[in-house]
Chain A
Amino acid sequence: VGSPAFLSLQRERRCLGVCDGGQMQTVTLIPGDGIGPEISTAVMKIFEAAKAPIRWEERNVTAIKGPGGRWMIPPDAKESMDRSKIGLKGPLKTPIAAGHPSMNLLLRKTFDLYANVRPCVSIEGYKTPYTDVNLVTIRENTEGEYSGIEHVIVDGVVQSIKLITENASRRIAEYAFEYARNNQRSSVTAVHKANIMRMSDGLFLRKCREVAENYKDVKFTEMYLDTVCLNMVQDPTQFDVLVMPNLYGDILSDLCAGLIGGLGVTPSGNIGANGVAIFESVHGTAPDIAGLDLANPTALLLSAVMMLRHMGLHDYGNKIQTACFDTIRDKKVLTKDLGGNSKCSEFTADICRRVQDLD
């Protein structure tokens, strides 16, 4: 018991006899590196305790060189994702001088993950200077400042190109309004810097306005990036859903994560074309505590809850989230980064117990 073969067998086993009205849905699980495997196990245990109708298919995404010399993810991983359409991913190691681009980038390109959604909700029981934060940042994930197009014009002069296209802007705006409507959110704010970047952010803004016309039930406002930052740190309760291009999204989503307590407790989801969605924890692999049963599975667990909601399994999602928040509020079995000194397995066991009690 505990050998890799046995554990992987356990993970692949079907959870028969779980049906309480819903059929089993397959989810591709990518444990990742470092603390990835242990937090993935924790999440699977909690889902089992909640009797969620999820069948996990574990896959590895180390890059391999495909025909034609281009780096790609292993074909079995791609096939599994294409079939199940839903993925849950742990933290992946960023390769330095490995010759291939980052795995996150590869996944993004393979599945055209165009929207990064980060709901930031204050966790009762994990105190930060900011309370009552309840907002969602929706970030365009494919273009913008991160197109990676850079040139050295002459020695000492570098230009980076920020690309904004009509299609991508329209797509992200539509997703943002759909999300707002489906999750009973009252307003969507477009964040931009069109006073300086008139054409690019102007195009983004125009597309947002056009899409807003079709969603009259959701309030639409626009705000400059600097004003959003200024107001966010003074009063985050005034914001609801924020939609923005890539760079501003990167900065603002991390800013909001900081408001609720950091990347260790923040869920994140990436929505792609063709109905693909990959939910992930955005913290690092923490190699220094890997394998020591000290990791905090909250981020991956909350991402899994986001996944359940995306799949329509709101009851299970709420049950698991309530159990998780109750454990944190109780403060008896917190992991080190949350201020306690319990082990990951103890934290997980407590949540499992609460989930079963909630039934």
Chain B
Amino acid sequence: MTARCVRSVSGSLQLLLRNRWPKVYGAATCSQKHTYTPPPAQYGGRHTVTLIPGDGIGPELANHVRELFRFCCVPVDFEVVNVDSTMASEDDINNAIMAIRRNGVALKGNLETNHNLPPSYKSRNNLLRTTLDLYANVMHCQSLPGVRTRHRNIDIMIIRENTEGEYSSLEHENVPGVVECLKIITRTKSLRIADYAFRTAREKGRTRVTAVHKANIMKLGDGLFLECCKEVASGYPEITFDSMIVDNTTMQLVSRPQQFDVMVMPNLYGNVVSNVCAGLVGGPGLVPGANYGEDYAVFETGTRNTGKSIANTNTANPTAMLLASCLLLDHLKLHAYANMIRRAILSTVTETRLHTADLGGQGSTSEVVQSIMKAVESTGPRTLSL
């Protein structure tokens, strides 16, 4: 038999086997599966990243990111794709999705959804996440030293299932006046997100994973989610696993948030918990968010706000978007640049007199960005002139 023949036989055998046996998640598979390599840097070692400015404060923040990257000589070029969220046709978002498929990575602002439009107009953000199968939304909420909040020493990593659950957008009206909305929980996706959570906890040296659910009421749906988490937990004996009901979780978060480490949950609870945690550490202007899939990654602000009311007033807090761009650089394995910019951002945040309105100060966005650039310049590496 020729080599090619052997390869093709083994290929079809593999296909047969793959269909017959479901994937088993756990310690055994994690090591061989996920040695991540970023999308290749072409054209002189420079990466191309899709940039979707979005609505509200999105465009001005996107400009600041570009300005900062240009200043720090970061080898990233942005391919800007504008998505008009007021248009009924989905061409714009499909173009954006195609660009992300091409580049592998994206930085995006939030796209506004007018909820008074009929259901045929789907949320553009949701469409992007489900089409690209960005199954894990990761938000790391940490208390920052210069920011005054009611609770201190918070360090919670929230891993939220991003594609199914209540956000399946499957609704129908069987009888006039009675609407049914379907919440879908599948075994595959629950196992996948649980595996992602435990793997991340292990990589970051975290010791405890808490699953948030409402299985006492939604016995089958959240019961399945919880079961999958328990199954995956058995493969990670060094990590403590426990579960908590979502209403108790929110109560504990506002009284004693320091007890939480890593939290994993389905889509809607993730929305609530991540917003509560973001509020606890200082607000929507401080926390970056990342959406990871098998092949793509999209970075944005953690709480996904458009900030319509403060658009173009130069008062938005750029910290969240700039930290998201640092996560982007980490994803592209440009760690030196990421750490340099992150250090500069965190040193600026501790400066109270530069706080923007959301942190109780009177600083403007451009002042904050200027200060970050000055901080980068003072650390020494080659930059453009200010």
List residues of chain A with CB under 8 Å of any chain B CB.
128-130, 145-146, 148, 150-152, 155-167, 192-203, 205, 225-227, 229-234, 247, 250-255, 257-259, 261-263
Contacts and interface: CB of A to CB of B under 8 A. Distances in A.
A230 B178 contact: no
Nearest to A261: B255
Contact of A200 (B113, B181, B214, B279): B181
Contact of B182 (A152, A160, A259): A160
Given A163-B179, A233-B276, 17 more contacts: A129-B254, A129-B255, A148-B217, A150-B218, A151-B220, A156-B186, A161-B180, A161-B181, A161-B182, A196-B169, A200-B180, A230-B284, A232-B279, A233-B253, A252-B250, A258-B252, A258-B255
Interface of B: 113, 115-119, 121, 123, 126, 150-151, 166-167, 169, 171-173, 177-188, 214, 217-221, 224, 246-248, 250-255, 268-269, 271-272, 274-276, 278-280, 283-284, 303-305
B271 A203 contact: no
B150 A230 contact: no
Contacts of B167: 196
Contact of A203 (B116, B169, B179, B182): B179
A226 B115 CA distance: 15
Contact of B113 (A156, A195, A225): A195
A193 to B, nearest CB: 8
Contacts of A192: 115
A162 B180 contact: yes
28 contacts: A130-B254, A148-B217, A150-B220, A157-B184, A160-B182, A162-B180, A163-B181, A164-B181, A193-B268, A196-B113, A196-B169, A197-B169, A198-B121, A199-B171, A199-B172, A199-B173, A203-B177, A227-B275, A227-B305, A229-B279, A233-B253, A247-B268, A251-B246, A253-B247, A255-B250, A255-B276, A257-B251, A262-B251
Report the 4 A-B pairs with minimum CB-CB distance, sorted nearest first: A156-B187, A258-B251, A233-B279, A166-B177
Q: Interface centre among A129, A148, A201, A226, by most B CB within 10 Å?
A: A226
Nearest to A129: B150
B115 A195 contact: yes
B255 A128 contact: yes
A160 B221 contact: yes
Contacts of B220: 150-152, 158, 160
A150 B219 CA distance: 8
Given A146-B217, A194-B115, A162 B177 contact: no
A242 B59 CA distance: 33
Given A197-B166, A254-B248, A254-B251, A158 B179 contact: no
A198 B115 contact: yes
Contact of A250 (B126, B247, B305): B247
A150 B126 CA distance: 24
Contacts of A155: 187
B224 A158 contact: yes
Contact of A145 (B121, B178, B183, B279): B183
B221 A158 contact: yes
A231 B255 CA distance: 16
A44 B250 CA distance: 33
Contact of B179 (A199, A253, A254): A199
A163 B255 contact: no
A251 B151 CA distance: 20
A258 B221 contact: no
Q: Interface centre among A128, A159, A203, A257, by most B CB within 10 Å?
A: A159
Nearest to A206: B116
Given A163-B178, A226-B271, A233-B279, A197 B171 contact: yes
A262 B145 CA distance: 28
Contacts of A148: 217
Nearest to B221: A160
Contacts of B118: 198
A234 B279 contact: yes
Contact of B250 (A130, A194, A251, A261): A251
A200 B171 contact: yes
